[in-house]
A and B are shown apart, each in its own frame.
Chain A
Amino acid sequence: MRDETITGETVPVPESGYNFAYLDEGAKRMIRRAILKAVAVPGYQVPFASREMPMPYGWGTGGIQVTASILKPEDTLKVIDQGSDDTTNAVSIRRFFAKTAGVATTEKTEEANIIQTRHRIPEKPLSEDQIIVLQVPIPEPLRWLEPREVETRRMHALSDYGVMHVKLYEDISRHGRITTNYDYPVMVNGRHIMAPSPTPKFDNPKMGNMPALQLFGAGREKRIYAIPPHTEVKSLDFEDHPFSIQAWDEPCALCGAEEVFMDEVILDDQGGSMFVCSDSDFCQRRRDAGHKGPAVEGDDT
């Protein structure tokens, strides 16, 4: 087979010896049934028989199994990790599907109809033609206070969610404000509390009323859950400590974007650093279109 090119636009044929997208058809059917159930009950964690994948759990085996089960030969896949298409994790998952399914891959958000991600939802709004698959390490938002699975299931069944605000209360009493920045709990469709795990709370508002289908897969914990298109997603908070997202004082050093999620990049060992878009595709496209941030201002090369 041919390898993917740097731009990821070459379409390789699947390597023989694999079933399409690695998983056998029986496993895919079982996972699709779990996905349908998850879509029918937004935010509800559906147990599924997670399969062994040829990579360790921390690598997003839950998301990979979900992607494998919904993938079609004509799909175009984008994979991101921490907002970036070129981290080791993203590259290996993209290669994995290019190799086992022969699907086209891309880094461009709008070109992909399936996006698998850890941490981030792309800055560019997603459309009804797209599905985003999130890799989840810890699917149970009640776990921190209630170690017993039987009891957490019961709490979900009865909407018995008082403890979620106990956690936020503790945050405020200790730090004067809600300090939870990642995996910030949400109420989905007014019924189920869900862990966006491990996305930054910056992306929580994107989850609400998103036109795209959002699927969440947890491999080690064997759970799948979903937010169907155009579903209400509300971040928990208090009246006098309302939910708010992270904000940065300066625009992206490279593309000048504001109101995006940023990473701090260390420049030297003197403590110099700059803030740049965490969504690498978004940043690159802005730069291609001529936008400049403070770090490259006046630089006309």
Chain B
Amino acid sequence: MSELLRVENLTKSYGRQRGCTDVSFELWPGEVLAIVGESGSGKTTLLNCCAGRLAPTGGSVVYETRHKGLIDIHGMSEPERRFLMRTDWAFVHQNPRDGLRMNVSAGANVGERLMAVGARNYGNIRNAALDWLSRTEVDPDRIDDLPTTFSGGMQQRLQIARNLVSGPRLVFMDEPTGGLDVSVQARLLDMLRDLVDRLGLSAVVVTHDLAVARMLSTRLMVMQQGRVVETGLTDRVLDDPQHAYTQLLVSSVLQP
């Protein structure tokens, strides 16, 4: 078995502004990696570069494709990359509005990926949408309603359904529970963990919430000022932080 994603010396600068610097890591099939760090530490920048949404300044992101083996995703043609992004990959935005089409129904939102890759049977598309709405705990009766009529938590679950319908292997999430109430967050986390387990998904999750990292991830990467300062099994890093910054991060959560 080989790694699913291999990131080597990834650097992204915005002009003179540093986004992330010299980041390397591997993601293995079935593994969930959490990226934590304070605001501005480069988490979103790193995630976007890994997910093919942002071109890095240096380094490479290599992905194990189903049919062609390891391929540098930034060396792919744009159509190939778009195809990969809507079949094998999923991207869950913090704000569901960034990941949903707000002016079409929930069913159309879920069905879009299928149609984009050639599904042409309305009945099958609709059944898949119904199935995924119920799997993400959205009432299937709401299939023809617009996402604007949904609560924040429902919108986020709809965004997840829309992403998972194509059977992706790798899911990128940027603060998936970020804008939600605490109780809604807990329920969404439960659902996410359950889906990830059951589908055997691999995932990279950006969060500034160590509890989210603890619950979802197997491995943890701590970022500070664009660099990775510590990495390891989640429980190990949180229970026995080595780097001074990680120690600070962990202790600031423990002592309110």
The segment out of B89-97, B119-127, B168-176, B226-234 that lies at the interface is: B119-127
Question: 15 interchain pairs (CB within 8 A)?
Answer: A158-B79, A160-B79, A162-B116, A166-B112, A169-B108, A169-B125, A170-B105, A173-B105, A174-B105, A238-B120, A238-B121, A238-B122, A239-B121, A240-B121, A240-B122
Q: A residues bordering B, Cβ < 8 Å?
A: 145, 158-163, 165-166, 169-170, 172-174, 237-241
Task: List the A side residues contacting B116 at CB < 8 Å.
Answer: 160-163
Given A145-B103, A162-B113, A173 contacting B120 (CB threshold 8 A): no
A158→B86 CA distance, assembly (Å): 14
A276→B69 CA distance, assembly (Å): 63
Task: List the B side residues contacting A145 at CB < 8 Å.
Answer: 101, 103-104
**Would you call A165 and B115 a contact (CB within 8 A)?**
yes
Task: List the B side residues contacting A170 at CB < 8 Å.
Answer: 104-105, 108
- Give min CB distance, A192 to chain B, whole Å: 15
Q: B residues bordering A, Cβ < 8 Å?
A: 78-79, 82, 86, 101, 103-105, 107-108, 111-113, 115-117, 120-123, 125-126, 143-144
**Would you call B101 and A160 a contact (CB within 8 A)?**
no
Q: Which residue of B lies closest to A154 (CB)?
A: B78
Task: List the B side residues contacting A169 at CB < 8 Å.
Answer: 107-108, 111, 115, 122, 125
- Give min CB distance, B114 to chain A, whole Å: 9
Q: Which residue of B lies closest to A158 (CB)?
A: B79
- Give min CB distance, A114 to chain B, whole Å: 38
**Would you call B79 and A159 a contact (CB within 8 A)?**
yes
Task: List the A side residues contacting B105 at CB < 8 Å.
Answer: 170, 173-174
A240→B122 CA distance, assembly (Å): 6
A22→B79 CA distance, assembly (Å): 44
- Give min CB distance, B112 to chain A, whole Å: 5
Cross-chain contact of A173 among B78, B108, B113, B121 (Cβ < 8 A):
B108
**Would you call A166 and B108 a contact (CB within 8 A)?**
yes
A159→B120 CA distance, assembly (Å): 16
A162→B121 CA distance, assembly (Å): 14
**Would you call A162 and B103 a contact (CB within 8 A)?**
no
**Would you call A173 and B115 a contact (CB within 8 A)?**
no
Task: List the B side residues contacting A159 at CB < 8 Å.
Answer: 79
The 4 closest A-B pairs by CB, nearest first: A162-B116, A165-B115, A238-B122, A239-B121
**Would you call B82 and A241 a contact (CB within 8 A)?**
no
**Would you call B108 and A162 a contact (CB within 8 A)?**
no
Task: List the B side residues contacting A166 at CB < 8 Å.
Answer: 101, 104, 108, 111-112, 115
A160→B80 CA distance, assembly (Å): 11
Task: List the A side residues contacting B123 at CB < 8 Å.
Answer: 240
Given A166-B112, A238-B122, A173 contacting B82 (CB threshold 8 A): no
Task: List the A side residues contacting B115 at CB < 8 Å.
Answer: 162, 165-166, 169
Q: Which residue of A lies closest to B103 (CB)?
A: A145
Task: List the A side residues contacting B79 at CB < 8 Å.
Answer: 158-160
**Would you call A160 and B82 a contact (CB within 8 A)?**
yes
Cross-chain contact of A158 among B82, B107, B117 (Cβ < 8 A):
B82
Task: List the A side residues contacting B107 at CB < 8 Å.
Answer: 169, 173
A146→B191 CA distance, assembly (Å): 32
Residue with the greatest number of chain A CB neighbours at <10 A, chosen from B86, B105, B112, B120: B120
- Give min CB distance, B139 to chain A, whole Å: 16
Task: List the B side residues contacting A238 at CB < 8 Å.
Answer: 120-122
Cross-chain contact of A165 among B86, B120, B126 (Cβ < 8 A):
B120
Task: List the A side residues contacting B143 at CB < 8 Å.
Answer: 173
A239→B124 CA distance, assembly (Å): 10
Task: List the B side residues contacting A161 at CB < 8 Å.
Answer: 116
**Would you call A173 and B101 a contact (CB within 8 A)?**
no
- Give min CB distance, A237 to chain B, whole Å: 8
A145→B79 CA distance, assembly (Å): 20
**Would you call B108 and A158 a contact (CB within 8 A)?**
no
